[in-house]
Every structure is written in C-alpha cells, then in structure tokens.
C-alpha cells in the first residue's frame, strides 16, 4: 500500500473521499488524453506551404534532417566547419546529420527525437544506418495523399502559413498557387518593418491591404528583436502606427507580434544562428492600451518574459498570448509556461503552434504538445475536484476546443 493510504487517518469518510479522488484522477487522465487526441487542432503559426507553392512546400527525409534545429546540434557533435557543410548537397548534408546525430549518438534531444517519432509514425524502422529505405519510402508518396495522412496523424485540421509579399521567391507564386483551405495565410511583415524599404506609410498601408485581401490573410505578423521598443520616433513604430495597425483595423484582423529574437548572432550557421533575449514588454502595454480597436496575438521567446505576458493578458482583452515559441518548444518549458497560463488566464490563451517548416514535423510537434499538456490539464482538474467541483468529459471537451481551436477562430473573426 502506498504511503499516502497507509498514512490516512482511520476516519472512514476521509478514506473513502481519498479513494474516490484517486479513482477520479485515474479516470481523468484517460479522459483528458482522449479529448486531447480527438480534438483537431488549428496550427496557428507554421512555415509550411500549400502544395501549389511548389518548391517552397518542403517535405521528406532530406528536408526533415536538414531542419535548422538539427543543424545547430550537428555543429556541436561533428568536426565540420559551417562553410564545408554549406558546400555539400542537401542529401549529403542529410546523410551527415543522420550519421552524426542518429547513428554515432543517441537521438535524445527534442528535435532528434522528433525525427524518430516521424519515422515511427510511418511504420519505418528507426534504426537504419543509412537513409536509403527512408528515401525510398518518401519517394513513393503522392503529395496530396501524403498531406492528408500527415494531417490525420498529427490531429490537425489546418495550418497557418507565413507569407511575406516582399519575399522574391514567394510573391510570384501567388499568381498561380491554387488555394487550399487547409493552408491559411498570414501576412508576414518582417521585410517591411525590419529591413530598409522605401515605402511611405500611405504606400505601405495600401500595399498591405491589397496583399492581405489577395492572400485572404487571417492575421498579419512580425518577429521583433529583444530590443523592440514601441515609440513614436522610429520608422518601424511609424509604419506600425500609420500603416499596419490601420490596415488590420480596416480588415478586422489581428497583428501577431513575436518578440525576443536576436537574429544572426552566428551568421555562419545561417537559420540556426539566431538566439533569444529578454524584451521590455512595456511596448505591449502601450500598444494594447493605445490601440484598443486592434487585437494582438503575442508570443515571447524568452522564458523570463512569460509571466509578465500573462500579467498583461489579464489587463488587456485585446491581447492573446500564444505558443511556446522555438527554443521554448521543449516539454520542460511547455509544461511550465502552460501551467502558468492556466493558473493566470484559465483557458483564454492559445497554448501552442508548431512552427513546422517541413510537413511531417507536425506529427511529432503536436504529439509532443498533447503529451505534455495531458498531465498539466489533468492536474488542473484534480485541483478543481479537490476544491469541490468535478468536471465531466463535456467540460474537458469544451476547454480543449477553446485552447486548440476557438480562441483562435474568435480572435481572428
């Protein structure tokens, strides 16, 4: 008998209550896991593209293995210099990543385990020494059917892409790409707001409205450095005030701010070379207060900013915290951040997005999210039961619907 029961007082009422609670908790765990598994997610931020975008729509083993999260780990374990690595073909790079991180080392990091989980989901042997069988498998897939299967395995209904109209590779493809309702658009503003362009605020506003309507964008988005300050003096803030925020208001869509990225701290390793930093979130306070007719989806990259983001969300209903972004998308961080958000905001937040760049990554990223959320939610309901209110399956379904779907749908409509 466990210590808990042997220590229980002889009082039979208390013992019975304790046993009931234990039974409820066991049952609760199963119900929470079932509800999480069966609720179809809307994945609100990815870098995936609909198949109509041709070579931008990445999938398959070579892309999975050359994901920049894995490349960052490769340079720690293989004696190769970045310039030598970039001189290789994509399949040579994938071979090297596999050999280094999956054959010579055990794949225990989040990103390496993720690749294993993807192979496993397709019923492949995860311990091959070379990529031949994996390449054969992916080559044999027909993309439309493969996408359907991947979405089913991931338990997702649709994803939101990242679409920058100033990206010279992407923008011409909008002339020909067939719309696919499973891939919604988000108008990304990074080039407009973070690089030098000649747009006046008036031009920028017209440009954004035209493109947002053309893409049927569900929101506009920008990633911002840890040093981001919203003031009336710099060009970015002027464009935000006079172009982006009015365009969002006119179109009735939110603006997503992803704050805390320090780009190119090690440019030699390209996409893997960005880092994170703690931001001053008083700019969020100013934006939410000064622009009450705008809605802001906000994700912050630094662990240290998470709590104050929750505090601001309690002050401003036009602020929707979302996701555990990038370096935070690890079970330990997701658990901590989600617990904090549930405690401070109930279900009025969006717990996660995948940030997937390669199609099949949604399988492992959403599997991991569900696995981490299950005990966090179970514990929340257990505490509620101890405090005097037990929940039903319908209550749990209602909460998970909000977290996985309706908070986003309501905020973007």
| Residues lying near ligand RAT in the complex (CB under 6 A) | 47, 223, 258, 271, 326, 355, 357
Output the CA torsion 380→384→387→393 (10° steps): -150
Partner from ligand RAT, Zn ion, none contacting 256, C-beta within 5 to 8 A by type: none
Please choose, out of 131-139, 173-181, 279-287, 354-362, the segment that lies near Zn ion by the rule CB under 5 A: 354-362
Strands ordered across the beta sheet of 156-160: 41-43, 156-160, 183-188, 217-224, 255-259, 296-300, 319-321
Q: What is the rounded CA–CA span in Å between residue 146 and residue 129?
A: 25
**DSSP secondary structure, 364-398, as one string:** HHHHHHHHHHHHHHHHHHHHHHHTT-PPPHHHHHH
Both structure tokens of 366: 């959403």
Distance (Å, whole) CA 335 – CA 352: 11
Q: Which stretch binds Zn ion (CB under 5 A): 76-84, 141-149, 227-235, 355-363?
A: 355-363
Map the footprint of Zn ion across residues 9-68, applying CB under 5 A. Answer: none
**Nearest residue (CB) to ligand RAT, 62 versus 355:** 355
Question: What's the CA dihedral at 352, 354, 360, 364 to 10 degrees?
Answer: -50
Neighbour tally for 340: CB within 10 Å? 14
Name the binder of 299 from ligand RAT, Zn ion, none, CB < 5-8 A by kind: none
| Closer residue to ligand RAT in complex, CB, 217/342 | 217
- Closer to ligand RAT by Cβ: residue 263 or 393: 263
Residue 355 within binding range of Zn ion, rule CB under 5 A: yes
Greatest CA span in the chain, whole angstroms?
79
Nearer to ligand RAT, 347 or 361 (CB): 361
Least distance in Å: CB of 327 to ligand RAT?
A: 8
Dist CA 146 CA 121 (whole Å): 13
Which residue has its beta carbon closest to Zn ion?
A: 355
In angstroms, what is the minimal distance from the CB of 8 to ligand RAT?
48
Q: What share of the chain is helix, strand, coil (3-state, %, to 5)?
A: 55, 10, 30
Q: Name which of 268 and 271 has its Cβ closer to ligand RAT.
A: 271
Reduced to 3 states, what is the DSSP secondary structure of residue 81? coil
> Of 355 and 399, which CB lies nearer to Zn ion in the complex structure?
355
**Least CB distance to ligand RAT at residue 357 (A):** 6
In the bound complex, what is the minimum distance in angstroms from residue 353's beta carbon to ligand RAT? 9
Q: Which does 223 bind (CB under 5 to 8 A by kind): Zn ion, ligand RAT, none?
A: ligand RAT
Rounded CA gap, 390 and 381, in Å? 7
Least separation, in Å, of the C-beta of 45 and Zn ion? 6
Closer Cβ to Zn ion, 48 or 376, answer by number:
48
The alpha helices in 3-81, defined as continuous H runs, are 3-6, 12-38, 61-65, 68-77
Q: Which residues bind Zn ion (CB under 5 A)?
A: 355
């Amino acid at each position: 008998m466990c210590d808990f029961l042997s220590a229980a007082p002889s009082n039979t009422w208390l013992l019975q209550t304790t046993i009931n609670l234990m039974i409820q908790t066991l049952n609760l765990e199963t119900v929470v896991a079932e509800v999480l598994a069966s609720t179809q997610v809307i994945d609100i931020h990815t870098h995936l593209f609909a198949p109509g975008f041709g070579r931008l729509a990445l999938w398959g083993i070579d892309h999975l293995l050359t994901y920049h999260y894995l490349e960052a780990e490769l340079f720690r374990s293989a004696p190769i210099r970045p310039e030598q690595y970039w001189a290789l073909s994509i399949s040579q790079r994938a071979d090297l990543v596999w050999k280094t991180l999956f054959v010579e080392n055990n794949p225990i990091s989040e990103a390496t385990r993720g690749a294993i989980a993807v192979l496993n989901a397709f019923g492949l042997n995860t311990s091959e020494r070379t990529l031949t069988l994996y390449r054969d498998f992916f080559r044999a897939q027909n993309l439309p059917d493969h996408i359907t299967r991947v979405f089913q395995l991931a338990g997702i209904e649709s994803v939101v892409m990242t679409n920058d109209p100033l990206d010279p590779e992407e923008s011409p493809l909008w002339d020909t790409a067939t719309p696919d309702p499973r891939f919604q658009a988000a108008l990304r503003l990074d080039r407009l707001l973070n690089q030098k362009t000649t747009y006046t605020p008036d031009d920028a506003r017209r440009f954004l409205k035209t493109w947002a309507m053309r893409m049927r964008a569900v929101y506009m988005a920008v990633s911002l450095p840890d040093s981001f300050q919203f003031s009336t003096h710099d060009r970015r803030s002027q464009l935000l005030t006079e172009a982006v925020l009015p365009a969002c208001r006119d179109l009735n869509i939110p603006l997503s701010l992803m704050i805390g990225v320090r780009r190119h701290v090690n440019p030699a390793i390209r996409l893997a070379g960005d880092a994170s930093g703690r931001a001053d979130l008083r700019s969020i306070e100013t934006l939410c207060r000064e622009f009450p007719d705008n809605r802001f989806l906000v994700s912050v990259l630094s662990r240290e900013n998470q709590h104050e983001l929750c505090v601001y969300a309690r002050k401003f209903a036009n602020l929707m915290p979302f996701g555990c972004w990038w370096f935070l998308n690890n079970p330990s961080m997701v658990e901590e951040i989600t617990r904090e958000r549930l405690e401070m905001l109930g279900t009025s937040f969006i717990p996660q997005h995948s940030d997937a760049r390669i199609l099949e990554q949604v399988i492992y990223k959403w599997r991991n999210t569900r696995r981490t959320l299950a005990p966090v939610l179970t514990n929340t309901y257990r505490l509620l039961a101890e405090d005097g209110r037990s929940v039903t399956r319908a209550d749990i379904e209602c909460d998970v619907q909000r977290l996985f779907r309706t908070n986003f749908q309501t905020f973007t409509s």
